[in-house]
Amino acid sequence: MKEMSQNKGIKILLVDDEPTILQFLEMGLENEGFQVLTAQDGMTAVTMVKEHQPHVVILDVMMPGMDGFEVCRMLKKIQNVATIMLTAREDVEDRVKGLTLGADDYMIKPFSFEELLARIHARIRNHYPHLLSKVHLGPFQIDDRRKEITYEDTLLELSPTEYSLLKYLVTNHGLVLSKPMILDNVWGYDFGGEENIVEVYIRSLRDKLNDRQHRIIRTLRGAGYRVDFV
């Protein structure tokens, strides 16, 4: 769930003239939370990059008409999009040519879907590191790079401790978190204060979430707290 949320908002363009490969990759990447666009020829791919500005282009080399090398060359003139080229050939010359034209990575068919995912995330980390710092969980968006949390499109004004506490509660939504667990994970194992500090901060978070009925941060008497998405 967390990985899928992390991929939300990331656009990938698949370019391949084989419909079965497009369908397989489109289904797999959509299941991972990506927004997926497809093209079956080079000119359509170039047009879609101009119109939709995808973050990553997965580009087959061997296509009729405009091949993947020419598409890659044209894409690099449009924008610095991360490009992963696919080929059924193992020729070193092809790989060198693709990388020289601006491709960021090269994969030889057949390949595992898990390896493709890893390479996509590597490209995103290099080109758009800010995207992977944001995690969407229910109505919450957590931006760990900026230390900000948004609830239902409203940016919450949080102190550093409130941010850490709400992040811990939200990323463990559905689980009952006891006060000792919260103290250890938010305040640290060496915290020597009183447990009621948790109640004080929970009350503050509920005020900022307008959670008067305790429907978001629930109290389970004698057990702890649990965040539910409503």
Q: How far apart are CA 128 and CA 50, in angstroms?
A: 18
Please tell me whether the overall predicted TM-score, pTM, comes out greater than 0.75 for this model. Answer: no
Q: How does DSSP assign 85-144, residue by residue?
A: EEES---HHHHHHHHHTT-SEEEESS--HHHHHHHHHHHHHHH-TTGGGEEEETTEEEET
Residue 18: its pLDDT value, please?
92
State both tokens at 105.
């990575």
Residue 40: its pLDDT value, please?
95
Residue 118: its pLDDT value, please?
87
Kindly give the confidence (pLDDT) of every residue in the chain, 230 residues in length, as a single tens digit, with 9 standing for 90 and above. Answer: 445 556 777 899 999 999 999 999 999 999 988 999 999 999 999 999 999 999 999 999 988 888 888 999 898 888 778 999 998 777 777 677 777 777 888 888 888 898 898 889 888 888 887 776 777 888 998 888 789 999 998 999 999 999 999 999 998 888 899 999 999 889 986 676 677 899 999 999 999 999 999 999 999 998 999 998 86
Cα of 69 vs its chain's centroid, Å: 28
Residue 189: its pLDDT value, please?
66
**9 in Cβ contact with 131 (< 8 Å):** yes
**100 in Cβ contact with 92 (< 8 Å):** no
**58 in Cβ contact with 75 (< 8 Å):** no
Residue 102: its pLDDT value, please?
77
Q: In the 8-state DSSP scheme, what is residue 131?
A: G
